Structure 1
């Protein structure tokens, strides 16, 4: 970043939050990425799978809040597994 951008408040491009945990589940990749909301964490994950040579993704965000990031991460993985079990590839359609 140049000196002028730093001086006059140039903003960095927003980045994808770093996942707290990544695992494969039934051919899908699940990236648990709880979202901080004040002193709590919201259940959130990204579910991905290559379908027909194209990477498909689904952002999973729920209203559930947890006291710790670890609790939210584990709940995010469990919820993603449940959604995959219920919907499979229809999740992307």
Structure 2
């Protein structure tokens, strides 16, 4: 269990970057003015739920990266679930996922 958290922490901190053709971001999906880029990565024989949520603002594009604990046997399943998870994040938090946006905005 400790190795899971250390692996997750190093990925979130940018110390370890996924590599290889199976770990590139998937095609962007538009949802409520946001772009969802699923980016599951291989981890211990499974694919980790991960991706990026982007949105354009007058002062430029903002990006929120997410990694979740769920793993999947196939990359396709992980891509599908990553999009579902991103939609849930958008529905629950809106623009608050971007730390430099005011809390009251949507």
TM-score, structure 2 normalization: 0.69
Aligned residues: 80
Corresponding residue number in structure 2 for 1:23: 29
What 5-or-longer segments of structure 2 have no aligned partner? 1-16, 100-106
Pick 1 or 2: higher relative contact order, CA cutoff 8 A, min separation 6: 1
Partners of 1:89 and 1:80 in 2: CA distance: 13
> How far did residue 21 of structure 1 move?
3.1
Per-residue CA deviation, residues 2-31 of structure 1 (Å, 9 max, x unaligned), is xxxxxxxxxxxx788521232110000000
Post-superposition Cα deviations, 1:44-85, rounded to whole Å, max 9, x if no partner, equal 010001123311000010011110001110000000000001
Runs (5+) with no aligned partner, structure 1:
1-13
Which structure features the higher share of strand residues? 1
Taking the TM superposition and a 5 Å limit, the aligned residue runs for 1:2-81 are: 18-81=24-87
Task: Indicate the RMSD between aligned Cα atoms, in angstroms.
Answer: 1.8
Q: Distance in 1 between matches of 2:64 and 2:95?
A: 10
The ranges of structure 1 where at least 4 consecutive aligned residues each deviate by more than 3 angstroms after the TM superposition are 14-17
